[in-house]
């Protein structure tokens, strides 16, 4: 039976729509001042969120997003079977430390900025397989924690390249169920690691674009769908540089996405917010989907959205050793039912 749910090489069709019972987003001040500010549930103006470190602040944002998602769904921890979540930090400490106070079996994930769609995919597989009735999904990132880990202390005032992106400060949480109406997961396409040899850690968009293109193309091949099947196709955080590259690569492959393609990293900030190529981070696609796209699906603005979260699977050690940047993209189809 499980094999019959797989179509093509990388896509799984769920046997029934799996409703997103609730979704919540918590973001930082800069994100709240962006064009999507009104769609987020909570805007935290203090980057340290009353804690003693940026890392603890990020973990607190995860806890806040979880609390909001549970409240919206009128559920308690005891109603959940599993939690799938991750972040950008070494040993995913933002998620791990948040999970200390969540009495639910926990699977920690690291897919870099693809983590939100990865978690949604695994939640869907778990529910469709009959192993759970309700699952919790989370993802988070923080500008200051990512800068400290991957690049330079912000106190140094290092000049950023035009291709650089701004890590989104925030967290997202969603509760997925086995039955109900509203916006629901209908299928997922698992990505493969793609490495085109790019080594510039200040140009993540160019590094991740080929992985996004590979997953989107495979999704269309596996499902037999065309780009017009979806009202919106949204990549996670390619930013303006990666988005333009992905559009060109898809057009060369015969797929015209000019009508319905966007990128969460482009949507979340305004150009005048000095973010250079746009937003990035696990919270980029997580918060934009949980706030903007989820509400649009519920209102009927859109009926079919393909979320393709993208991730650069590097570490500070790997790029210091001169390694190239392996990347991945996971796709989930979310439809109004």
pLDDT of residue 272: 95
Q: What SS3 class is residue 144?
A: helix
CB of 69 within 8 A of CB of 61? no
| Residue 37 pLDDT grade (very low, low, confident, very high; cuts 50, 70, 90) | very high
Q: Which residues pair with 25 in a beta bridge?
A: 172
More confident position, 335 or 181: 335
Computed over every residue of the chain, the mean pLDDT equals 96
Rounded Cα distance, 305 and 297, in Å = 8
Q: What residues contact 334, with CB distance under 8 A and at least 6 apart?
A: 20, 183, 184, 185, 186, 289, 293, 297, 304, 305, 306, 307
Lowest mean pLDDT among 36-40, 123-127, 153-157: 153-157
pLDDT tens for 283-295 read: 999 999 999 999 9
pLDDT of residue 140: 98
Short-list 138, 149, 166, CA closest to 53: 149
Q: What residues contact 170, with CB distance under 8 A and at least 6 apart?
A: 25, 26, 27, 28, 31, 40, 61, 140, 141, 142, 281, 283, 286, 287
Residue 312 has pLDDT above 50, yes or no: yes
Rounded Cα distance, 175 and 110, in Å = 19
* pLDDT above 70: percentage of residues in the chain: 98
Lowest mean pLDDT among 11-20, 152-161, 266-275, 311-320: 152-161
pLDDT of residue 2: 45
Output the CA angle 305-306-309, nearest 5 degrees.
Answer: 130
DSSP 281-296: SHHHHHHHIIIIIHHH
| Residue 3 pLDDT grade (very low, low, confident, very high; cuts 50, 70, 90) | low
CB of 225 within 8 A of CB of 219? yes
Residue 1 has pLDDT above 70, yes or no: no
pTM flag (> 0.95): yes
CB of 316 within 8 A of CB of 208? no
Which residue segments constitute the domains of the chain, with CATH numbers given?
A: 1-337 (3.40.47.40)
Residue 179 has pLDDT above 90, yes or no: no
Short-list 143, 86, 80, 70, CA closest to 118: 86
pLDDT tens for 205-238 read: 999 999 999 999 999 999 999 999 999 999 999 9
**What's the whole-number mean pLDDT along residues 95-112?**
98
Residue 158 has pLDDT above 80, yes or no: no
Rounded Cα distance, 114 and 208, in Å = 10
pLDDT tens for 43-100 read: 999 999 999 999 999 999 999 999 999 999 999 999 999 999 999 999 999 999 999 9
As given in the structure block, the two tokens for residue 8 are 């093509």
Short-list 179, 188, 174, 61, CA closest to 118: 188
**What's the whole-number mean pLDDT along residues 20-44?**
98
More confident position, 148 or 98: 98
pLDDT of residue 155: 67
Rounded Cα distance, 305 and 224, in Å = 16
**What's the whole-number mean pLDDT along residues 320-329?**
96
Rounded Cα distance, 69 and 66, in Å = 5
pLDDT tens for 247-276 read: 999 999 999 999 999 999 999 999 999 999
Task: Decide: residue 37, CB within 10 A, 0-12 exposed, 13-18 middle, 19+ buried.
Answer: middle
pLDDT of residue 267: 98
Q: Which residues pair with 7 in a beta bridge?
A: 11
* C-alpha neighbours within 13 Å on the C-beta side of residue 325: 24
Place of tokens 């599993």: 82
**Range list of H helices, the chain:** 29-32, 54-73, 93-99, 115-128, 143-150, 204-223, 239-252, 264-267, 282-288, 294-299, 316-320
């Amino acid at each position: 039976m499980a094999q019959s749910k797989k179509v093509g090489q990388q896509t799984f069709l769920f046997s029934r729509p799996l409703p997103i019972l609730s979704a919540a987003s918590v973001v930082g001040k800069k994100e709240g001042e962006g064009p999507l500010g009104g769609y987020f549930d909570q805007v935290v103006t203090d980057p340290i969120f009353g804690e003693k470190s940026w890392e603890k602040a990020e973990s607190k944002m995860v806890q806040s997003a979880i609390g909001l998602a549970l409240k919206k769904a009128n559920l308690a921890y005891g109603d959940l079977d599993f939690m799938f979540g991750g972040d950008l930090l070494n040993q995913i400490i933002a998620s791990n430390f948040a999970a200390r106070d969540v009495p639910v079996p926990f699977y920690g994930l690291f897919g870099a900025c693809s983590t939100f769609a990865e978690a949604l995919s695994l939640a869907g597989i778990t529910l469709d397989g009959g192993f759970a009735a309700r699952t919790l999904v989370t993802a988070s990132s923080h500008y200051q924690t990512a800068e400290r880990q991957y690049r330079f202390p912000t106190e140094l005032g290092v000049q950023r390249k035009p291709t650089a992106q701004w890590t989104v400060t925030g967290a997202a949480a969603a509760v997925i169920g086995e039955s109900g109406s509203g916006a629901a997961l209908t299928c997922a396409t698992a990505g493969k690691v793609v490495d085109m040899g790019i080594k510039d850690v200040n140009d993540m968009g160019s590094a991740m674009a080929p992985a996004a293109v590979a997953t989107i193309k495979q999704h269309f091949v596996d499902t037999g769908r065309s780009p017009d099947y979806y009202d919106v196709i949204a990549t996670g955080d390619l930013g303006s540089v990666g988005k333009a590259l992905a559009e060109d690569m898809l057009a060369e492959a015969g797929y015209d996405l000019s009508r319905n393609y966007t990128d969460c990293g482009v949507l979340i900030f305004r150009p005048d917010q000095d973010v250079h190529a746009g937003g990035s981070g696990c919270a980029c696609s997580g918060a934009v989907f949980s706030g903007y796209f989820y509400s649009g699906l519920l209102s009927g603005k859109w009926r079919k959205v393909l979320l393709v979260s993208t991730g650069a699977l590097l570490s500070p050690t790997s790029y210091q050793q001169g390694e190239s940047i392996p990347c991945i993209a996971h796709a989930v189809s979310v439809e109004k039912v």
